Structure 1
Amino acid sequence: MSLLNTEVKPFNATAYHNGEFVDVSDESLKGQWSVFFFYPADFTFVCPTELGDLADNYAEFKKLGVEIYSVSTDTHFTHKAWHDSSETINKLTYPMIADPTHAISRNFEVLIEDAGIAERGTFVVDPDGKIQIIELNAGNIGRNAEELLRKVKAAQYVRANPNEVCPAKWEEGEATLSPSLDLVGKI
């Protein structure tokens, strides 16, 4: 069963955020857009490039009212150690959620059980706590924050304009479509 349009399951976790350990839960998401960005592990190879890319684009997400939550099965202590020792990870200012019990990774169905790590999964959650976008990548394929930003803008647009849809490669400000019988077979 797909997780699209389902509510994020309840969770409680500790995150490393701006030099502190903070509590994060499903209640933290209510009323705002959120991105859950699962990655396999701290101190690896592709992961810091992705998290750094998100950090470079974080201000744009914040302008849209979006909070980024990176999530791995590492502990919050490991997140802090990685943040303190890596130039790339040191620039992160969004919360790094620890999931050592694997509960959140199981909730989002990205846990690789026999390895105890998460797949590269991206989930965009709307202000009602419902998952609107899911992206899964193989472990050796990194993601693109600018493409994620484009998808978030599209999700926000169609939420604000329920009678319109965004076509392929839609960019903010471009034309959308209003589905109707008149469009059938004419696109």
Structure 2
Amino acid sequence: MNFPLAADITKQVSRDYGVLIEEEGIALRGLFIISPEGELQYQVVHHNNVGRSVEETLRVLEALQSGGLCPIGWKKGDKHLVTK
């Protein structure tokens, strides 16, 4: 996949990520955070009637970049979970 992404005119990206409703020719609202190595780190898919939260997306991205094990509701500056 080349970056930055352009419009998904062929709908191939929507197919690849499983959010395309083929019979309607539309995609559900999908958000995918992919590491520089190409590994899917986070995925959330909403029905088109439901919006996405920019704040939650940023929180998740910061948690993924924090290098630790983050509990629910973790925010930048919070402590990580400790494993034994």
Q: Please indicate, yes or no, whether the TM-score normalized by the shorter chain is above 0.5.
A: yes
RMSD: 1.5
Quote the Cα distance in structure 2 between the aligned partners of 1:130 and 1:140: 28
Equivalence map 1:1-187=2 (5 Å): 11=1, 25=2, 28=3, 97-157=6-66, 161=67, 164-180=68-84
Quote the Cα distance in structure 2 between the aligned partners of 1:178 and 1:129: 27
Structure 1 gap ranges (5+):
1-10, 12-24, 30-68, 70-96, 181-187
Quote the Cα distance in structure 1 between the aligned partners of 2:47 and 2:8: 20
Letter in 1 for 2:13: I
Higher helix share: 1
Structure of higher CA gyration radius: 1
Letter in 1 for 2:81: L
Q: TM-score, normalised by structure 1?
A: 0.42
Quote the Cα distance in structure 2 between the aligned partners of 1:122 and 1:130: 14
Runs ≥4 residues deviating over 4 A? none
Quote the Cα distance in structure 2 between the aligned partners of 1:179 and 1:171: 19
What's the % identity of the aligned pairs? 38
Quote the Cα distance in structure 1 between the aligned partners of 2:59 and 2:24: 32
Shift of 1:117: 1.0
Quote the Cα distance in structure 2 between the aligned partners of 1:177 and 1:98: 39
**1:57 corresponds to which residue?**
none
Quote the Cα distance in structure 1 between the aligned partners of 2:19 and 2:7: 14
Shift of 1:155: 0.8
Shift of 1:178: 2.0
Letter in 1 for 2:20: L
Quote the Cα distance in structure 2 between the aligned partners of 1:102 and 1:138: 17
Letter in 2 for 1:174: D
- Which structure has the higher relative contact order (CA within 8 Å, separation 6+)? 1
Q: TM-score, normalised by structure 2?
A: 0.90
